[in-house]
Every structure is written in C-alpha cells, then in structure tokens.
Amino acid sequence: MTDLDRVLDLQTSDTTTDQLRHRRETLAEYAELKAIDVREAEIVASVVEPRAERDSLGREQKRLEDEIAGIEQKVAVVLHQLYEEGLTSPKEAQALQADLESLKRRQAALEDEVLELMEKIEPLDAALAGSVADLDTVRGDRERTKAALVAAQAAVDSELAAVAESRIQLAAAVSPEMLKSYEELRPQYGGIAIARLVGATCQGCFLSLAAAEVDELRRRPADELVHCPDCGRILVR
C-alpha cells in the first residue's frame, strides 16, 4: 500500500466524520422540536381572545353576585323589620313590604343575568380546558422529543469517537509531507482533498483529462504526490 492509498483511507475516515457531523446537526428531532414550538405558539395564541372574554364575563358575574349578596342582606334587614320588630303603623309595614318585593324583583333579574353569563362562560371554559389539555400534550411531546434527541446525539457521538480514534492511527501511517498537503487542501475542496483517477476521469471533479496528461501522470512513481490539473486535488493513480 502506497502513502497515497493511506491518505485515501484517511480521506474516507474524514468523509465519514463529516457525514456524522452533518447527521448530528440535522437529526429529525430538531425539526420535531421546531414543529412542537410552532404548535405550542398556535395554541397559546388561540386562547388569548377566549381567555380575555372569559375573564371579562367572570368579572361581570362577580359584580352581579356581589350585588345579589348586597340585596340579600337588605332583604334580611327588611324581613327583620317586618316580623321581628314591633311595627306600630300599617303604612310602615306596607312600605317595607313594597321594598321587599322590589328587592326580590331586582334579585330575580340579577340572577337571570348571572344564568345568562354562566351559559356564555360554560363553552368558553370547555374550550379553554381543551386548550390546556392540548398544551399538556404538546409539552409532554417536547420532553419526550428532547430525550430522544439526547439519545440520538449520544449515538452519533459514539460513532464520531470511534472514527476519531481510528483516524489517529491512519494519520500516523502517512508521511508528514503528504499529511500536510492533504490537510491544507481539504478545506479548499469541500473536505475532499484526494481522489482516484479512474480511466481518464478524476473522481474528485469528474472531469476527463487529456490522454497526454493521463500518460504523463501514469509514468510517475505510484507514491509521488501529483495533483489533478483541473481541480487541484491529490490524485491516486
């Protein structure tokens, strides 16, 4: 095996590393987490208006119930005056009775309003409860997806570590001069610094060399450092 063959093995190792890093950066769980974030934002946005309406109706219900409670206190006072205090005037009793009836009419009207509000509130509460359940589901999905992401990252990291360990041995077997040339070229050519010459075609740029160029390259020693005249990559003949 020539030095160039060993560099080609090193290239294969580095390409595997690049692929693993790309896989780690594009794990499906990343897209799933983004989709979950979008879904959560949609649910949160969808409850803004219903929540505001529910809060407004709730405040109105509270106001009416407070007024009803005030009327009930007044009714208790009137009843006390009518039946427990000694009234000396039928006219006074008649006036209190009229007050009592007026208070009860007002109370009945307010209670009807409360019932109407409750009828409006009920479907809002049901919808909001459904949204809360949806949020719980989405957030549960997020936690499960995060756990899956961590596991997927760990699996790729394990592969990367194994390739990195193997690369140390591969690089140690390459001459310093050849290794230096390879390392300098790799960033310039998208990570592919060395390629085989198959027939008259460079497998790095896939351009065909002239017959004279191919003959000239093949006359050189197999372990001599030569470059593709078109793309500049190291060629293995």
Residue with tokens 């007050």: 99
Res. 197: pLDDT tops 70: yes
Q: How much is the average pLDDT of 205-222?
A: 92
For residues 212-219, give the mean pLDDT. Answer: 91
The predicted structure's pLDDT at residue 88: 61
CB 66 within 8 A of CB 114: no
Q: Looking at the chain, which runs of residues are DSSP E strands? A: 194-198, 201-202, 234-236
Q: Which amino acid is at 116?
A: E
Instruction: Quote the CA–CA distance of 231 and 71 in Å, as a whole number.
Output: 94
Burial state string for 160-181 with b = 16 or more CB within 10 A and e = fewer than 16: beebeeebeebbeebeeebbeb
Residue 29 CA to residue 234 CA, distance in Å, equals 38
Strand order in the sheet with 194-198: 201-202, 194-198, 234-236
68-109: per-residue pLDDT in tens?
A: 999 999 999 999 888 877 666 888 889 999 999 999 999 999
The token pair at 110 is 């307010």
- pLDDT digits 0-9 by tens, 130-142: 999 999 999 999 9
Amino acid at 231: C
pLDDT of residue 93: 87
Average pLDDT on 32-41 reads 98
Inter-axis angle of helices 176-185 and 3-25, nearest 10: 40
Percentage with pLDDT > 90 across the chain = 88
Report the pLDDT averaged over residues 109-127.
97
Its CATH class, for the domain covering 25-166, is mainly alpha
pLDDT at 191 over 80: yes
pTM (predicted TM-score)? 0.75
Domains of the chain: which residue ranges?
25-166, 178-236
Which of 87 and 166 is assigned the larger pLDDT?
166
